[in-house]
A and B are shown apart, each in its own frame.
Chain A
Amino acid sequence: DVKVTQSSRYLVKRTGEKVFLECVQDMDHENMFWYRQDPGLGLRLIYFSYDVKMKEKGDIPEGYSVSREKKERFSLILESASTNQTSMYLCASSLSPGSTDTQYFGPGTRLTVL
């Protein structure tokens, strides 16, 4: 089975802190994604990557950056956390480039910024 793991289930940070959210997949998938999930807003794409060191902006990239140094790992970085970044963050991966492959999601990280 495909497994997508996220480094933390719950995280509490202070405004202005630099925050790293880590995601690892174990199935040699090409594509990796970061979403945020907020009540009433569904899943919104922040960034995705289709290859090592490649990244593409999603719908809401402002205030975030990403890093993909190895194929299995995709990191989301909040350079200076703000309270409006309090949310559930979901990582996903899919096998090949293109948008018609099944996405496999991690369990999510609930981030609270105080």
Chain B
Amino acid sequence: GENVEQHPSTLSVQEGDSAVIKCTYSDSASNYFPWYKQELGKGPQLIIDIRSNVGEKKDQRIAVTLNKTAKHFSLHITETQPEDSAVYFCANNQAGTALIFGKGTTLSVSS
């Protein structure tokens, strides 16, 4: 079936460094690519999303890029802070009915 591959599964950075998480997908009909952040003890929360008609979107320190030809999209966090430590999930819509989530990336930012 359709899936989304997410890498890396864990990522450790120093405060102030950048972090990049990459996802690849298989459904060429996908047109929506959200990223969710899950803090300890909480449910995931949408932090940024991108639709297939744009290649990049930024919101302060976070950005998402999309390459539809190669079927991959990435989350970029600049100037990381300890509060960025969390599990991040990418997702894309499958056949217009539901989201398929990646397996998650645990980001640790050390000060």
Contacts and interface: CB of A to CB of B under 8 A. Distances in A.
A joins B in a complex: yes
Interface of A: 4, 33, 35, 40-45, 48, 56, 58-59, 90, 92, 98-100, 102-103, 105-108
Nearest to B41: A107
Nearest to A98: B96
Interface string B58-95: 00000000000000000000000000000001000110
Interface residues of B, number: 27
Given A41-B103, A99-B93, A108 B98 contact: no
A43 B104 CA distance: 8
Given A40-B9, A43-B89, A92-B43, A103 B102 contact: no
A60 B5 CA distance: 18
B10 to A, nearest CB: 11
A41 to B, nearest CB: 6
Contacts of A35: 101
A92 to B, nearest CB: 7
Given A90-B43, A105-B44, A43 B101 contact: yes
A107 to B, nearest CB: 5
A42 B101 contact: yes
Contacts of B36: 103, 105
Contacts, number: 57
Given A45-B98, A99-B32, A105 B103 contact: no
B99 interface: yes
Given A59-B1, A98-B96, A100-B51, 18 more contacts: A33-B98, A42-B101, A42-B103, A43-B104, A45-B100, A56-B98, A90-B44, A99-B32, A99-B97, A99-B98, A100-B32, A103-B44, A103-B46, A105-B36, A105-B45, A107-B41, A107-B43, A108-B43
A104 to B, nearest CB: 8
Given A42-B104, A48-B98, A102 B43 contact: no
6 contacts: A33-B98, A43-B44, A99-B97, A100-B51, A103-B36, A105-B36
B43 A4 contact: yes
A22 B66 CA distance: 37
